[in-house]
Structure 1
Amino acid sequence: MTAVLGGCGLTGGGSGDVTLKLVAADYGDSADNSSRKYWDQLVKEYESKHSGVKVDVTVYSWNDVDRKVKELVDAGKAPDMAQIGAYADYANKGLLYSADDMLSISTQADFASQLATAGQVKGVQYGLPFAASTRLLFYNKTLFKDAGLTPPKTWNQLAADARALKARGVKYPYALPLGPEEAQAETMQWLLSGGGGYTDTVGTYGFDSAQNVNTFTWLKDDLVGKGLTGPVAPGSLNRAAAFAAFAKGDVGMLNGHPSLMKIAAKQGVKYGMVPMPGVDGASKSAMGVADWMMAFKKNGHAEQVGKFLDYVYSEKNVLAFSRQYDLLPVTTSASDVMSTDRRDAALEPFLKQLPLSELYPVDKTSWASVAAAVKKRIGNAVSADGNPAATLAQLESTASMAENAQ
């Protein structure tokens, strides 16, 4: 399991024996809950029912897994499968099997529709959604109760709540993490809530749209400029630090994903969760995030890979993974179970957001470089001497060049 992959699967002579290689990301935060344990159990069960097929899984941290897969592919040693953060670059180079090439019709039909669509390049699905999450606005119930506040439904209400919290000495009335760790997520949530987004209705980048400029102008003038986002400049505040501050009781409101529930509860913080406020009411679009499974053509194991992935995406296995890591299931069958099972009640608010969610433009091979530019620059838009329109215009230029270079 820990060995570096050697590349091609091994195919026996007439026996049909095949060893499939899978590189996967680790969703755990310790050895006790490493994804390695999940895959060990799943593979053990699969191999016991499918003689002649072995599955060799190597698990890497999220810090390393995308790079490791790229190194293997560049060396001509692509694994049979990779479960990582993006698929479009490999699909664009013609290296991947399509879903039609390998999966059963029932497995394909079970994917949540917007996730299946996000896995398409030019109308063909190459990226198989593996895990998903949505984001909600978390608020500190104790701080809100002490200040006599109700959770906001509009931007103006959010600003008013933040002013009231600041008056009571709350360190971060609204935590706005636009630092390099995950600025692209916070940015997208705000753009969607303002009626914009990274792309327009036909999928073309539109960073400098009027809606996006209005959104960041409001953030700069009505939140950051009024001192409502705390002592750390948004461009220097990372998500992990914002989550930690929320768990200490220092944050009134911030956007968060399901893992924040455990972080906050562990520190005894009482929290509530509501949909992201919009300009005049609840945001019409939620932000979703998905990670991806893909299968490489290199070793020619479409049939064996397809049967294994049919098993991976069975209701039982999707539910087990989602529950283990507080993630949302990517299949309709598992979502239906989760939405009615009491043990999954904590995830229900996030699950309700999934059908409304919009994902990063992961079908674009340019997205990785564009996301890096967002992480680097977007904090400047809300700085004291920042210019939201100019920053967004720069990002639009960067995105257009990256797209045209593909």
Structure 2
Amino acid sequence: MTSPHPGLTRRHALMGLGVGALALAGCTADPGSGAGDGTITMWGSWSGEQIGQLEKQIAAFNAAQSEIEVRYEAQELVEQKLLTAIAGGGVPDIVLWDRYQTAVYAAKGALAPLGELVERDGVDLGAFYQPPVSEMTVDGTLYGLPLLVDNRSLFYNRELLTEAGLTPPGTWTELADAAEELTVRENGRLKRAGLMLDDPGLFNIWLLQAGGSLLGADGKSVGFNSDAGRAVLDFWDDLLRRRKVFELGFGDGVDAFAQRNAAFKYDGPWALSTYDAVDGLSYGVVPPVTGAAGTGAITGGFGLVIPEGAPNREAAWTFAKWWTTNAANGVDFARISGWIPATVAAAKDPFFTEDEHYAAFITAMDYAQVRPTVTGYADVEALALLPALEKFMAGELSAAEALAQAETQGNQILGENA
């Protein structure tokens, strides 16, 4: 569940502070240790409108002190480009990093360990949400600082629920009942989906709610072919084939929720600005509904890493600390971009907790987990689990067949990467 880049600015951007109002924290280190000119290059995959978001935050840092200037350069396939740069020269100083890639690229020698710098400067790793810290730690070595977090929470059309006399659901059963009641068909055709079930990649969230695990107890094999995994697919089967709240292909190419043709959907905080801009759309957000085992959510997002061989390591570290460890700076970037900071104090700021839409995501962060970081698990999802789930959704495989197929292929992938 790698986070999509938001690409849109939250309505609160209009409340943003000027660059001079941002505080500078921890800028005591020597600004350069290589080229030494005080200018550092930041790479990342964010592009389009996202570049403007990053440049506003970078401008705040540049204006807050006089020793370091940060410049952002957007890169396609930034991880692969980094490997090429390490082999041939031109390594950037710092990278806006998809945390889920850390285990893969740390093993390739692309990332510099940061533990010594953390200890030297007394950075409190306990100030961050801990699952993102674990996602950037490989074999006990820290390779980055968490920057931004997300999760998928439940969006609902407030007007539809009010008209039906319903309240936002809190459990699987309540969601199924409400979705069935709000589904509309005309002449046998689905006109309004009760619940968008168009992303089988969210299986991991449902699995946690059912009490399951993506990995087995040994940490070396998959764990989703279980009673909990079958419970998820049985529930999906009930929604799809008995209650008929969704059908494959519905909403393809459009946003059915924005068009008021879906009552419920799971989505991330990046969607808030989209729905805020839809004229007349009244919507709400609640944390993920609970299953038989209780709560369950997955968090993704970004961190900051310093590549191996970065020419201005100390200056890059100063910038990373300024952005990640100062809560005010995290909140200010939220005003610019809509992203949730990985620092708990920043995420608990009233900017989020008193916002009726953000608050659900902050609640879910209290129990959200990260996906397994063992080498090869990303391929298990992409090459084994998701294809099997898609065949199940299409009626080509039973629940038992889909999970068994994904288990066999997934364990083979993990074995090859062991």
Q: TM-score, normalised by structure 1?
A: 0.81
3-state SS in 2 of match to 1:145: helix
Note closer, same or farther for the CA distance 1:68–1:177 as it changes in structure 2 (3 Å cut): farther
What letter matches 2:151 in structure 1?
T
- Structure 1 gap segments, 5+ residues each: 1-8
Give yes or no for the alignment of 1:96 onto 2:118. no
Distance 1:18 1:398 in 2: 49
Number of the residue aligned with 1:34: 52
Number of the residue aligned with 1:173: 194
Distance 1:193 1:341 in 2: 24
Give yes or no for the alignment of 1:324 onto 2:336. yes
Distance 2:89 2:226 in 1: 42
How far residue 188 of structure 1 moved from its aligned partner, in angstroms, is: 1.6
- Structure 2 gap segments, 5+ residues each: 1-31
How far residue 203 of structure 1 moved from its aligned partner, in angstroms, is: 4.0
3-state SS in 2 of match to 1:94: coil
Number of the residue aligned with 2:214: 198
Number of the residue aligned with 1:24: 44
Asked whether the equivalents of residues 53 and 336 of structure 2 are also in contact (C-alpha less than 8 Å), the reply is no
Distance 2:401 2:87 in 1: 38
- Encode CA deviations 1:299-357: one digit per residue, 9 max, x unaligned: 36443332221122222322222232222111133224346775x55422211211200
Number of the residue aligned with 2:177: 160
Distance 1:345 1:153 in 2: 16
Note closer, same or farther for the CA distance 1:129–1:228 as it changes in structure 2 (3 Å cut): farther
Distance 1:81 1:26 in 2: 14
Asked whether the equivalents of residues 299 and 368 of structure 2 are also in contact (C-alpha less than 8 Å), the reply is yes
Pairing partner for 2:392 from 377, 381, 395: 381
Distance 1:245 1:375 in 2: 23
Note closer, same or farther for the CA distance 1:275–1:21 as it changes in structure 2 (3 Å cut): same
Note closer, same or farther for the CA distance 1:367–1:128 as it changes in structure 2 (3 Å cut): farther
Number of the residue aligned with 2:13: none
Distance 2:42 2:226 in 1: 41
Note closer, same or farther for the CA distance 1:226–1:68 as it changes in structure 2 (3 Å cut): farther
Asked whether the equivalents of residues 134 and 354 of structure 1 are also in contact (C-alpha less than 8 Å), the reply is yes
Distance 1:336 1:292 in 2: 19
Distance 1:306 1:30 in 2: 26
Distance 1:43 1:401 in 2: 47
How far residue 210 of structure 1 moved from its aligned partner, in angstroms, is: 2.0
Asked whether the equivalents of residues 131 and 330 of structure 1 are also in contact (C-alpha less than 8 Å), the reply is yes
Number of the residue aligned with 2:304: 293
- Encode CA deviations 1:334-386: one digit per residue, 9 max, x unaligned: 224346775x554222112112001122x323133223224444211222232
Asked whether the equivalents of residues 315 and 333 of structure 1 are also in contact (C-alpha less than 8 Å), the reply is yes
Number of the residue aligned with 2:289: 277
How far residue 22 of structure 1 moved from its aligned partner, in angstroms, is: 1.7
Pairing partner for 1:80 from 72, 93, 113: 93
Asked whether the equivalents of residues 102 and 303 of structure 1 are also in contact (C-alpha less than 8 Å), the reply is no
Indicate the structure whose relative CO is greater, using CA pairs within 8 Å and at least 6 residues apart.
2
**1:198-237 → structure 2 map (5 Å cutoff):** 198-200=214-216, 203-204=219-220, 205-220=222-237, 222-226=238-242, 228-233=244-249
Cα RMSD after superposing both structures: 2.9
Asked whether the equivalents of residues 129 and 342 of structure 2 are also in contact (C-alpha less than 8 Å), the reply is yes
Give yes or no for the alignment of 1:390 onto 2:390. no
Aligned residues: 374
Distance 1:38 1:171 in 2: 40
How far residue 233 of structure 1 moved from its aligned partner, in angstroms, is: 4.3
How far residue 107 of structure 1 moved from its aligned partner, in angstroms, is: 4.8
Number of the residue aligned with 1:369: 379
Distance 1:152 1:163 in 2: 12
Q: Percent identity?
A: 22
What letter matches 2:49 in structure 1?
S
Note closer, same or farther for the CA distance 1:397–1:325 as it changes in structure 2 (3 Å cut): farther
What letter matches 1:160 in structure 2?
D
Distance 1:188 1:176 in 2: 14
Distance 2:83 2:173 in 1: 45
Note closer, same or farther for the CA distance 1:311–1:101 as it changes in structure 2 (3 Å cut): same
3-state SS in 2 of match to 1:247: coil
Pairing partner for 2:165 from 140, 148, 162: 148
Q: TM-score, normalised by structure 2?
A: 0.79
Asked whether the equivalents of residues 339 and 348 of structure 1 are also in contact (C-alpha less than 8 Å), the reply is no
What letter matches 1:22 in structure 2?
M
Pairing partner for 2:271 from 224, 240, 260: 260
Asked whether the equivalents of residues 26 and 59 of structure 1 are also in contact (C-alpha less than 8 Å), the reply is yes
Note closer, same or farther for the CA distance 1:379–1:75 as it changes in structure 2 (3 Å cut): farther
Asked whether the equivalents of residues 99 and 126 of structure 1 are also in contact (C-alpha less than 8 Å), the reply is yes
How far residue 122 of structure 1 moved from its aligned partner, in angstroms, is: 1.5
What letter matches 2:167 in structure 1?
T
Asked whether the equivalents of residues 53 and 337 of structure 2 are also in contact (C-alpha less than 8 Å), the reply is no
Pairing partner for 2:72 from 38, 57, 68: 57
How far residue 111 of structure 1 moved from its aligned partner, in angstroms, is: 2.0
Number of the residue aligned with 1:402: 413
Distance 2:395 2:406 in 1: 19
Distance 2:361 2:216 in 1: 25
Number of the residue aligned with 2:205: 189
Asked whether the equivalents of residues 327 and 346 of structure 2 are also in contact (C-alpha less than 8 Å), the reply is yes
Number of the residue aligned with 1:4: none
